[in-house]
Amino acid sequence: MSLRNNREEEEVIRVGPGTPSGDVFRQYWLPVECSANLTGGGRGGFTSANNPLRVQVLGEHLVLFRDGTGKPGLIAEHCSHRGTSLAYGRVEESGLRCLYHGWLYGRDGACLETPAEPPDSNFRHTVKHPSYPCVEAGGLIFSYMGPPNRQPDFPRYHQLFAVDGVRVTGNGGYVEQCNVFQAMHDNNIDPWHGEIAHGWFRGRPPVMTMHHGRNGQPATPTKFERTPWGTRMVVLKSTKHPGRYHYHETHTVWPTQRCNQEEGKSMKWAVPVDDYRTRWLTVDFYPFEDGEPSREAVKAMGSRFNIGHAENLPLDWAQQVGGWWNLGHPWRQGNIWEDEVAQQTQGSEERHFLPDWEKWHLGTSDRGLLLNRQVWREQIERVKQGLDPIGVSRGAAQDDLIRVPATNIHDLSWDEGMQLFNLTPEERAAMVGREPAWLACKPRGRGVD
């Protein structure tokens, strides 16, 4: 099996305005920043070190700010007058003012003042600065960057809106130096790299939770399939205890989310900065235990990042550290580097680390990657035809939370595990919050993925 030629693959992985995949991404609400990173106001004005903020999303240069209402606005970085960066502007009660000639822009891109023009001038009414609507939810600021007439309802993921627990929002500090397909779509439902990159290459004895038949056990049951939100992989992993199994289910939620961990606790958006960089914005929701934050929640709240990353590294650190990367290299800083090394070194520097897909040899274990590519290409076609891509919601009851049934369930017998394994995505979704008693009492917890 193989992907298509490099020219066609490159057409799929590009995310800028007017590109086929850029148009798909622009049909959804995407997080563009963490709420906590965008400060607002303070005495003596609204401008601060972190208001406005320069952000880059889907290859577009933008500025994010909070005006006097406290609400975020996302507008094009370069002033509609003569292009000065509005990241150096001043935030005021009603908007963001350019430092050069003082044009003032509202959150909706309206040009409110042009102080250098005569007071009776209507010139400002002829200017509409590019802007995108924003919604703040779960500690993240989302924006819809697509055509206004196609703006969907905001998706009510339970990680963003559930109230009976603790929410831990990442700080957005994890930026991978690779394209979003390398960081996310090709990797998310790839169980064998869990076994190898996150297993053998951690320097431990082989974990071998996946195998092709061992000690009389059949090969590890593994499947990849479509869901109402995108795709999922389901794996019934072996454990070191013979006859006891670990059920693992991870979802790809379109356009670019990884939903994993028990109770679908974690939603991670892999947001393209541009064609060559991907920023992870994450929300983990920990349900209360007996009305209190769980121990795991307290631990997560105390950690600086809820997704590992290292700071102040050269862009090509993965190439530089070579074989040192997983052997206690000082740059490691205790974080998980396996995915970054694997993904950031798939291509050469001349290709901005984009892979040379024509040289790939995809085997049976790459079925998840191929399914994600296939579903992605279908969404390109749907968007071209003016249809909603998968998972876009319109007119849904606003009190319905979207609960994706990702999970990790331990200590299952073979029969229990296979019973779960054989359920359809719809049957699994129907079990959320309504698990049978035999299943509800099973231990949950993070597996290696």
Question: 211 contacts which partner out of ligand FES, Fe ion, none, CB within 5 to 8 A by kind?
Answer: none
Place of tokens 């952000």: 55
Q: How far is the CB of 83 from ligand FES (least distance, A)?
A: 6
Name which of 208, 281, 196 is nearest 240 in CA terms.
208
Contact flag: residue 339 with Fe ion (CB under 5 A):
yes
- Would the CA dihedral through 166, 50, 272, 398 be positive or negative? positive
- The DSSP 8-state label assigned to residue 22 in this structure reads H
Contact (Cβ atoms closer than 8 angstroms) between residue 42 and residue 60: no
| Cα–Cα distance, 143 to 292 (Å, whole number) | 33
Nearest distance from residue 193's CB to Fe ion, in Å?
6
Euclidean distance between CA atoms 190 and 198, whole angstroms: 12
Q: Tell me the site size for Fe ion, rule CB under 5 A.
A: 1
Residue 308 interacting entry, from ligand FES, Fe ion, none, C-beta within 5 to 8 Å by type = none
Minimum distance from residue 101 beta carbon to ligand FES (Å): 3
- β 277-287/165-169 pair status: antiparallel
Q: Select the binding partner of residue 4 from ligand FES, Fe ion, none (C-beta < 5 to 8 A, by kind).
A: none
Tell me which of Fe ion, ligand FES, none is bound by residue 103, counting a contact when its beta carbon lies within the kind-specific cut-off of 5 to 8 angstroms: ligand FES
Query: Is position 103 an interface residue for ligand FES (rule: CB under 6 A)?
Result: yes
Q: Is 186 in the site for Fe ion (CB under 5 A)?
A: no
How many residues sit in the footprint of ligand FES (CB under 6 A)?
10
Please answer whether residues 66 and 90 qualify as being in contact, where contact means their C-beta atoms are separated by less than 8 angstroms: no
Backbone angles phi, psi at 439, to 5 degrees: -90, -40
Give the binding range for ligand FES (CB under 6 A) out of 98-106, 154-162, 376-384, 404-412: 98-106
From candidates 98, 178, 189, 402, binder to ligand FES by CB under 6 A: 98
CA distance 190 to 363: 12
User: Least Å distance between CB 99 and ligand FES?
Assistant: 7
Q: Which helix (H) or strand (E) holds 224?
A: strand 222-226
Residue 67 binds Fe ion, judged by CB under 5 A: no
Q: Which of ligand FES, Fe ion, none binds 339 (CB below 5-8 Å, type-dependent)?
A: Fe ion
110 bridge partner residues: 128
Q: Give whichever of 76 and 175 is closer to ligand FES, judged by the CB atom.
A: 76
Complex with ligand FES: residue 85 or 171, whichever CB lies closer: 85
- State the minimum distance, in angstroms, from the CB of residue 86 to ligand FES: 7
CB 34 within 8 A of CB 42: no
Does 329 bind ligand FES (CB under 6 A)? Our answer is no
Binding of residue 154 to ligand FES (CB under 6 A): no
Cβ-based neighbours of 181, under 8 Å, separated by 6 or more: 12, 13, 373
Which option in ligand FES, Fe ion, none does residue 37 bind, with CB closer than 5 to 8 A by kind?
Answer: none
Residues in the chain: 449
Fill in the per-residue mask, 29 to 68: x = in contact with ligand FES (CB under 6 A), - = not in contact.
----------------------------------------
Name which of 131, 134, 133 is nearest 62 in CA terms.
131
Smallest distance, Å, CB 116 to ligand FES?
8
| Residue 259 beta carbon to ligand FES: minimum distance, rounded to whole angstroms | 42
Burial (CB count <10 Å: 0-12, 13-18, 19+), residue 149: exposed
Residue 275 and residue 13 in contact, taking contact as beta carbons nearer than 8 Å: yes
User: Residue 288 CB, nearest distance to ligand FES (Å)?
Assistant: 49
54's enclosing H/E stretch is: strand 53-57
Dihedrals phi, psi of 33, to nearest 5 degrees: -170, 160
Residue span 68-97 as binding mask against ligand FES, x where in contact by CB under 6 A, dash where not:
-----------x-xxxx-------------
Q: Name the residue nearer to ligand FES (CB basis): 83 or 322.
A: 83
Residues 407-436 that bind ligand FES (CB under 6 A): none
Residues that bind ligand FES (CB under 6 A): 79, 81-84, 98, 100-103
